[in-house]
Chain A
Amino acid sequence: MREIATMAWRHTSRRQGRTTLTVLGIAIGFGAIIAILSLSFGVRRSVEATLSPIASDAIVLPVPREVYDSSSAGQGGIGQGGGLLNRLRASRIETVGIDQEIFNEIISTPGVVSHMGRSTPIPVRAIWRDREIRMTVTAIDPEGEKTLGQIVLDSGSWPGYMEGLASQILLRLRRVSVGDGITLVSDEGERYNLTISGIVGQSREARFGAPPNVPLLITFQTAALFTNDTSFSGIVLSTNGMAEAREVADAVQSGYPNLTVLTFEDFTETIERTLNQYSLFLLSIGVLAVAVAALGSANTMVVSTMERTREIGIMKATGAKNGFVLKGFLLESALLGLVGGVVGVIFGYVGSRILEYLVVRLNIGRLAGAAAGFSPYIPLWLIPFSIILAVTVTLISGSYPAWRASRLDPVEAIRYE
């Protein structure tokens, strides 16, 4: 074996020009794959980091599971004023109501440590700055929001009874300050004067607990003054861990088969599916690059066997078996793959840094569909995996020329000029 390796190494290093070009081809192919995968892994890591705060939560949505699964699942959640619900309504899919009674039962499920619920958007008439306007408000639970929500107060305090939290929407409509008054009018014409207790700050767009997309947030107690129909757009149940969240989700789901109860796993599964499709697309580009590299390697080996036909004849005339010749050429192919793979890893790393520059500096992350800023990421296992794959690919592409070389007739081969 040592002699085969010596010959393979000397042949490879002797033809520097051709070897360098072949190695470059393989390195570019595998470098592209690594850089592309690093993009995909970067997005995945970023999504996981975004979702990890809800790892021990269970989310209850007021739609049957089959409806949720068939809808544009994985988007909306209970943030955005019930984004999913709005879309379901728009597509005339019937939703199930979660009233106060069901809410109370759900939050008393064993294992629930804390909870947060928000109402569906409630249409109201309001008098603000002497003008009557129509708007929607959302009822929130300030205690739950403080622990589980992502509402950040820009100024003021959380609302109490007969108080409201002005959102950025209201702020954009007209300048508003803490202490301002706003009047909500019930269906019966009763007027309720509320005070703005605080202003919601700008929040990063996120999946759960983001500020509802309505101008005013009030407490459930206040909402009960002018509407009897306060149903929940979703409930977040917090537990002590992922396993507990699963148990709570299973318990709630079996008690309320018409609702959808989701855990971290359900979301990652959905996102995983999306990411896999995205990765598959990118990977198909990489596979093309590798196919080109494999063809280059096969071409090098075909030329090499042709050039060395006479040498193969000499080896066979002096006693080399077919297997010896086969091993020699396969080892040469593997050597090209090994060097190409190692250089490819370096190229891949450089490529991923370039992608990072493009993503971070030129802010094209959002174009790539990332939830927030992310940077390409190369997991450690990808390095040996790429090198082994490079060796395997060159072994496969070199197997036919090697086989052909091993089958050469010694008499014919030794006469070859």
Chain B
Amino acid sequence: MSNDVVVSLVGVSKIYKIGDQLLRALDRVDLQIQRGETLALMGPSGSGKSTLLNLIGCMDKPSEGKVLIEGKDITSLTHDELAETRALRIGMVFQFFNLISVLTAVENVEMPMVYAGIGTRKTRREKATEALDALGIADKANRLPSQLSGGERQRVAIARAIINKPAILLADEPTGNLDSQTGEMVLEALRRLSAQGQTTLIATHDPDVMAYAQRTLNIKDGRLA
């Protein structure tokens, strides 16, 4: 396997048991994502997009097959090892921002460093402030999420996702809950990160994302087209 492969899925299936029935959310998926690549993941609702993101994001384990993040098979990892992988190698941006309501913007950004035990309180604060500055919201650093607009919240979420320089940034409908103008600002931020070489996988319906993505993955009924 090439060193440039960040994510590799080999024959990955995810099967859920609902009552007596088995639901195959992903069906023998093979995928490789190269370092620095930007991919758009498209598919109708219920096609398996979120399941795929959860598996790459080390939030879940496959029922069959292997998921390798920078060459390391996550299927054999413990809960804590998975958490550590999420903190250090994965950045997640959600449709509904998912910030911690009692923490300020800068504190939210610091948390992945806290989880991973990186730096001192002072260096963490400096790094988090820099990340917010790069996204143009350093002046909102000490505000609670409830005091920020949707676009600002999503940019805080992006800053949190990239703070540990992850191997891959996963975004699940990052503009889905924003108006077009704010969505454009968020996309611009993601585009800049891609341009800087950040490997990114974006689940989206937004044609603008497809326009700048180097590759578009289409998923239907749990299978990649």
| Chain B associates with chain A | yes
Known: A6-B107, A320-B83. A410 touches B115 (CB 8 A): no
Nearest Cβ on chain B to A380's Cβ, whole angstroms = 37
Complexed CA–CA distance, A129 and B111 (Å) = 100
* Residues of A311-334 whose CB lies within 8 A of B: 311, 313-324
* Residues of B73-123 whose CB lies within 8 A of A: 79-80, 83-84, 86-88, 90, 92, 94, 98-103, 107, 110-112, 114-116, 121
Nearest Cβ on chain A to B45's Cβ, whole angstroms = 14
- A321 near B92: Cβ-Cβ < 8 Å: no
Interface residue stretch chosen among A7-15, A42-50, A53-61, A354-362: A7-15
Complexed CA–CA distance, A317 and B103 (Å) = 16
Nearest Cβ on chain B to A168's Cβ, whole angstroms = 74
Known: A3-B111, A411-B59. A318 touches B101 (CB 8 A): no
Complexed CA–CA distance, A316 and B114 (Å) = 12
Nearest Cβ on chain A to B71's Cβ, whole angstroms = 20
- A10 near B102: Cβ-Cβ < 8 Å: yes
Known: A322-B79, A411-B59. A317 touches B112 (CB 8 A): no
Nearest Cβ on chain B to A345's Cβ, whole angstroms = 29
Chain A residues with Cβ under 8 A from B90's Cβ? 319
- B102 near A14: Cβ-Cβ < 8 Å: yes
- B116 near A319: Cβ-Cβ < 8 Å: yes
Known: A2-B121, A3-B110. A317 touches B98 (CB 8 A): yes
Known: A3-B111, A3-B114, A324-B115. A317 touches B101 (CB 8 A): no
* Residues of B115-136 whose CB lies within 8 A of A: 115-116, 121
- A7 near B115: Cβ-Cβ < 8 Å: no
Is B54 positioned at the interface, with any CB of A under 8 Å from its CB? yes
The A contact surface, by secondary structure, is helix
Is B66 positioned at the interface, with any CB of A under 8 Å from its CB? no
Closest to A13 in B: B102
Is B60 positioned at the interface, with any CB of A under 8 Å from its CB? yes
Known: A2-B121, A3-B111, A414-B94. A319 touches B84 (CB 8 A): yes
Complexed CA–CA distance, A14 and B103 (Å) = 12
Chain B residues with Cβ under 8 A from A6's Cβ? 103, 107
Closest to B86 in A: A319
- A314 near B99: Cβ-Cβ < 8 Å: yes
- A319 near B115: Cβ-Cβ < 8 Å: yes
Known: A7-B103, A414-B94. A318 touches B79 (CB 8 A): no
Complexed CA–CA distance, A321 and B112 (Å) = 11
- B79 near A311: Cβ-Cβ < 8 Å: no
* Residues of A299-356 whose CB lies within 8 A of B: 310-311, 313-324
Closest to A319 in B: B87
- A317 near B107: Cβ-Cβ < 8 Å: no
Chain A residues with Cβ under 8 A from B107's Cβ? 3, 6
Chain B residues with Cβ under 8 A from A316's Cβ? 59, 83, 86
Residue from A318, A411, A414 having most chain B Cβ neighbours under 10 A: A318
Known: A11-B102, A414-B94. A317 touches B86 (CB 8 A): yes
Known: A315-B111, A321-B84, A324-B115. A7 touches B100 (CB 8 A): yes
Is B57 positioned at the interface, with any CB of A under 8 Å from its CB? yes
Is B153 positioned at the interface, with any CB of A under 8 Å from its CB? no
- A315 near B59: Cβ-Cβ < 8 Å: no
Closest to B110 in A: A3
Complexed CA–CA distance, A6 and B106 (Å) = 14
- Count of A residues near B, CB < 8 Å? 24
Is B160 positioned at the interface, with any CB of A under 8 Å from its CB? yes
A366-410 CB contact bits vs B (8 Å, 1 = yes)?
000000000000000000000000000000000000000000001
Chain B residues with Cβ under 8 A from A320's Cβ? 83, 87, 111, 115
Complexed CA–CA distance, A315 and B100 (Å) = 8
Chain A residues with Cβ under 8 A from B101's Cβ? 311
- B111 near A317: Cβ-Cβ < 8 Å: no
- A322 near B121: Cβ-Cβ < 8 Å: no
Nearest Cβ on chain B to A410's Cβ, whole angstroms = 5
Closest to B103 in A: A7
Q: Which of A10, A310, A317 contacts B92 (CB 8 A)?
A: A317
- A317 near B59: Cβ-Cβ < 8 Å: yes
Complexed CA–CA distance, A321 and B160 (Å) = 17
A144-184 CB contact bits vs B (8 Å, 1 = yes)?
00000000000000000000000000000000000000000
Nearest Cβ on chain A to B54's Cβ, whole angstroms = 5
Complexed CA–CA distance, A322 and B60 (Å) = 15
- A311 near B100: Cβ-Cβ < 8 Å: yes
Q: Which of B59, B87, B88 contacts A410 (CB 8 A)?
A: B59
Closest to A310 in B: B98
Nearest Cβ on chain A to B58's Cβ, whole angstroms = 9
Nearest Cβ on chain B to A255's Cβ, whole angstroms = 74
Complexed CA–CA distance, A310 and B60 (Å) = 16
Complexed CA–CA distance, A320 and B92 (Å) = 13
Chain B residues with Cβ under 8 A from A310's Cβ? 98
Closest to B164 in A: A319
Complexed CA–CA distance, A315 and B98 (Å) = 9
* Residues of A1-31 whose CB lies within 8 A of B: 2-3, 6-7, 10-11, 14
Complexed CA–CA distance, A3 and B111 (Å) = 8
Chain A residues at the B interface, C-beta cutoff of 8 Å? 2-3, 6-7, 10-11, 14, 310-311, 313-324, 410-411, 414
New A-B contacts (13) at CB < 8 Å, excluding given A317-B94, A411-B60: A3-B111, A310-B98, A314-B98, A316-B59, A316-B83, A317-B57, A318-B111, A318-B115, A318-B161, A319-B90, A319-B115, A321-B80, A414-B59
A-B contact pairs, 15 of them (CB 8 A): A3-B111, A3-B114, A310-B98, A314-B100, A315-B111, A316-B59, A318-B87, A318-B111, A318-B112, A319-B84, A319-B86, A319-B116, A321-B84, A322-B79, A322-B83
Q: Which 3 A-B pairs have the closest CB atoms?
A: A319-B87, A319-B115, A10-B102
